[in-house]
């Protein structure tokens, strides 16, 4: 047994660790917590707070061990189970996360936060039916719970329940009339042809939420090939050996920029999503990265570019004329533009239930002519896989001047 003096010392260490923790000094707090649990491993509150500090440091595997120790000692604490579930979810241990959420719910059955988190876990691991069931139950308890309404609408849309999705999005608008995503998706699901551009908030939120699994989903699940198709077309076009300054519009995590880095002295990337920009910055392939909407960016009169890239960017815009007007006004007399679109029919563009836009070749011809752009090359390609089928698109090489 520990003598009284040592117990008092450990208590003081724990108190100091809590102070450091509350001040955001997680590194020193962890050191003190660990000293305490080395001598008293069954101190569940200490294990729990150590787990929280490690979680803040993104040391999820170690945090999980602490939360597991805490629930082993005291299985009646809801917070222990809830944070164990959150940590398992971060580690993509979805089965363990679901089990921990359910243990928390057994202690607090109608807790909306726990239920919502369980629904998100089910959504993330692909258990769509169970997620819909959980979100629906959340809304029975609190019909104004916006995150559950938004996720429920998304999953109904994913399952092609367009009527149910519209109803959920409309309910979301009743709670939040300015919700940009709901407004855009209702227009998309209803096939409204006048909706020429989604709200910036919608696109920003879409890609911020998508950022963590963006590359894995695109490359592994969707067999995404747009940057490669663009690169191949570019190398068969009237390209320069070396460009002075290339800009990658909607650069995302830098999948397109990686391919084109070597053909330009300088490479700039812009994107609406700050989380995408942060991920692109980690790759260290861009000379400059900015969070910006592309038309507004060009209208500010940036440094001139002689190569403009847009891989799967224009699928989030209907009317492309303002884009090309902004590019041609800001760039020098000689500029090359390479981009991809999803193939559409007729003479114009169309907003689809997916929330994305398609454009016809005839429309691109008309926009190019209006902006005095020459179409040097174009090709029909497969951009990616989606719902068991191929998404067909077109890639283009345009230029002003010779």
Kindly state whether residue 303 falls inside one of the protein's structural domains.
yes
Q: Please tell me the predicted confidence (pLDDT) of residue 333.
A: 75
pLDDT tens digits for 125-138?
889 999 999 999 99
> How far are the Cα atoms of 3, 84, 384 from residue 387, in angstroms, in the given order?
66, 34, 10
Please, which residues have CB within 8 angstroms of residue 170's CB and are 6 or more apart in sequence? Answer: 182, 186
Kindly state whether residues 31 and 162 are assigned to the same domain: yes
Q: CATH number of the domain that 256 lies in?
A: 3.40.50.150
Residues 313, 164: Cα–Cα separation, whole Å: 29
CA distances (Å), 320 to each of 68, 138, 305, in order?
54, 41, 19
Q: Are residues 108 and 244 in the same domain?
A: no
pLDDT at 1: 56
Verify that 118 and 170 share a domain, yes or no. Answer: yes
Tokens of 187: 């227009």
Question: How many structural domains is the chain composed of?
Answer: 2
Tracing tokens 């803040």 back to the chain, one arrives at 56
Dihedral sign for Cα 113, 116, 121, 124, please. Answer: negative
327 CB burial (10 A radius; 0-12, 13-18, 19+): buried
Say what the pLDDT of residue 133 is.
97
Distance CA 26, CA 54 (A): 7
Domain membership of residue 198 (yes or no) is no
Looking at the structure, tell me whether residues 63 and 173 fall in a common domain: yes
Per the domain annotation, does 197 fall within a domain? no
In a shared domain, residues 103 and 221: no
Q: Which residues lie across from 266 on neighbouring strands?
A: 245
pLDDT of residue 334: 83
Give the integer Cα–Cα distance in Å for 124 and 92.
9
Same-domain status, 178 and 230: no
* 258 in any annotated domain: yes
CATH of the domain at 141: 1.25.40.10
- Give, in order, the Cα–Cα distances in Å from 371 to each of 320, 342, 350: 11, 21, 21
Residue 200 lies in a domain: no
**Residue 393 and residue 316 share a domain:** yes
DSSP 125: T
pTM of the model: 0.81
Rounded to whole angstroms, the Cα distance separating 171 from 146 reads 9
177 plus 233 within the same structural domain? no
* Six token digits for residue 397: 């090489």
Pick out the chain residues at pLDDT < 70.
1-3, 210-221, 401-402
Output the pLDDT for position 402: 54
Residue 385 domain boundaries: 211-400
């Amino acid at each position: 047994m520990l003598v009284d003096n040592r117990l008092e010392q450990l208590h003081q260490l724990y108190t100091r660790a809590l102070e450091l923790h509350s001040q955001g000094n997680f590194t020193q707090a962890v050191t003190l917590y660990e000293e305490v649990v080395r001598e008293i491993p069954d101190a569940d509150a200490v294990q729990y707070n150590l787990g929280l500090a490690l979680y803040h440091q993104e040391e999820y595997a170690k945090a999980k061990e602490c939360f597991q120790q805490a629930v082993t000692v005291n299985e009646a604490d809801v917070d222990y189970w809830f944070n164990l579930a959150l940590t398992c979810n971060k580690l993509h241990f979805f089965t363990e996360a679901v089990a921990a959420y359910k243990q928390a719910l057994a202690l607090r059955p109608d807790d909306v936060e726990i239920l919502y988190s369980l629904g998100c876990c089910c959504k993330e691991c692909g258990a769509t039916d169970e997620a819909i069931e959980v979100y629906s139950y959340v809304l029975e308890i609190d019909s104004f719970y916006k995150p559950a309404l938004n996720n429920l609408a998304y999953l109904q849309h994913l399952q092609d329940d367009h009527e149910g999705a519209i109803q959920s999005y409309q309910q979301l608008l009743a709670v939040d009339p300015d919700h940009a995503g709901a407004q855009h998706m209702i227009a998309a699901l209803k096939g409204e042809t006048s909706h020429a551009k989604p709200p910036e908030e919608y696109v920003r939120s879409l890609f911020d939420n998508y950022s963590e699994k963006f590359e894995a989903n695109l490359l592994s699940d969707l067999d995404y090939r747009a940057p490669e198709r663009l690169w191949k077309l570019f190398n068969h076009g009237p390209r320069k050996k070396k460009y002075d300054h290339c800009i990658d519009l909607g650069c995302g995590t830098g999948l397109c920029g990686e391919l084109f880095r070597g053909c330009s002295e300088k490479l700039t990337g812009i994107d609406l999503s700050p989380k995408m920009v942060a991920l692109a910055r980690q790759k260290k392939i861009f000379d400059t990265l900015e969070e910006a909407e592309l038309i507004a960016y060009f209208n500010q009169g940036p440094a001139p570019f002689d190569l403009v890239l847009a891989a799967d960017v224009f699928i989030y815009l209907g009317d492309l004329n303002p884009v090309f007007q902004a590019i041609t006004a800001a760039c020098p007399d000689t500029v090359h533009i390479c981009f991809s679109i999803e193939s559409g029919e007729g003479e114009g563009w169309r907003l689809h239930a997916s929330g994305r836009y398609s454009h016809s070749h005839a429309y691109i011809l008309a926009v190019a002519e209006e902006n005095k752009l020459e179409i040097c090359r174009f090709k029909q390609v497969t951009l990616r896989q989606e719902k068991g089928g191929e998404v067909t698109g077109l890639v283009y090489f345009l230029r002003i001047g010779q």
